[in-house]
Structure 1
Amino acid sequence: MKHILIPIDFSNNSWNALEYAVQLFKSEPCNFFILHIDELNKSDENGNSFLVIAKPSPTTIKDKMNRFVERIGNLPSNVAHQFIALKEYGDFIDLIKKTVQEKKIDLIVMGTKNIFHFKATVFGSNIGNVITKVPCNVLVIPEGTALKKPKKIAFPTDFNLFYSYPILHSLTEILEISNAYLEVVHVSQSQPIFTNSQVNNKEYLNDYLHELFSNSHSFQSILGANIRDSIINYISSNEIEMLTMVAKNLNLFQQLFINNSTDHLSYHTSVPLMVIHE
Structure 2
Amino acid sequence: MKKILLPTDFSPNAWNAIKYAISLYKHEECEFYILNTYTPTIAHSRFMATGAGGKACEDVVKNNSEKGLEQLLAKIQEKYHNPKHRFVTISSFSLLVDEIKNIIETHQIGLVITGTKGASGLEEVFMGSNTVRIIKSIKNCPVLAIPQHFKFKTPSEIAFATDFNRFYTTSELRPLLEMAKAFKAAIRIVHVQYEIKSLTEVQQFNLNMLRKYIGEVEHYVHTVSELNSVSQTLEVFANELDIHLLAMLNYQHSYMEKMTREPVIKRMAFHTQIPLLVIPELGMGTPPNNKNRKEISASN
**TM-score interval for Structure 1 and Structure 2 normalised by the shorter chain:** 0.7 to 0.9
Which residue of the partner structure matches residue 225 of structure 2?
223
SS in 1 for 2:166: coil
Larger Rg: 2
Counterpart Cα distance in 1 of 2:224 and 2:107: 41
More displaced 10-residue stretch of structure 1: 173-182 or 126-135: 173-182
Counterpart Cα distance in 2 of 1:155 and 1:86: 33
Deviations 1:142-176 (A, max 9, x none): 01212231121111110011120112211111102
Which residue of the partner structure matches residue 39 of structure 1?
39
| Change in 2 beyond 3 A, CA 1:51/1:38 | closer
Counterpart Cα distance in 2 of 1:266 and 1:93: 26
Q: How many corresponding residue pairs?
A: 268
Counterpart Cα distance in 1 of 2:89 and 2:60: 23
Deviations 1:27-55 (A, max 9, x none): 2211100000010568xxxx979872359
| Change in 2 beyond 3 A, CA 1:261/1:237 | closer
Deviations 1:65-123 (A, max 9, x none): 22111111113322221100000012221111111111111110001234479x857x9
Equivalent residue letter for 1:258: R
| Change in 2 beyond 3 A, CA 1:249/1:205 | farther
Counterpart Cα distance in 1 of 2:221 and 2:70: 47
- Deviation of 1:196 after TM superposition, in Å, equals 1.6
Which residue of the partner structure matches residue 155 of structure 1?
160
Which residue of the partner structure matches residue 80 of structure 2?
76
Segments of structure 2 that go 5 or more residues without pairing to the other structure are: 43-49, 283-300
| Change in 2 beyond 3 A, CA 1:5/1:102 | same
- Richer in helix (by share): 2
The counterpart of 1:276, out of the listed 251, 275, 279, is: 279
- Richer in strand (by share): 1
| Change in 2 beyond 3 A, CA 1:245/1:81 | same
The counterpart of 1:256, out of the listed 244, 254, 259, is: 259
Residues 1-278 of structure 1: pairs in structure 2 closer than 5 A: 1-40=1-40, 52-54=55-57, 60-115=64-119, 120=124, 124-135=128-139, 136-209=141-214, 211-213=215-217, 216-226=218-228, 227-248=230-251, 250-260=253-263, 267-277=270-280, 278=282
Counterpart Cα distance in 2 of 1:5 and 1:99: 8
Is this contact kept in 2: 1:128–1:265, CA < 8 A? no
Counterpart Cα distance in 2 of 1:65 and 1:22: 16
Counterpart Cα distance in 2 of 1:249 and 1:23: 33
SS in 2 for 1:144: coil
Equivalent residue letter for 1:137: P
Segments of structure 1 that go 5 or more residues without pairing to the other structure are: none
- Deviation of 1:267 after TM superposition, in Å, equals 5.0
Quote the RMSD (CA, aligned, Å).
Answer: 2.9
TM-score, normalized by length of structure 1? 0.86
TM-score, normalized by length of structure 2? 0.80
Identity of aligned residues (%): 28
- Deviation of 1:222 after TM superposition, in Å, equals 0.6
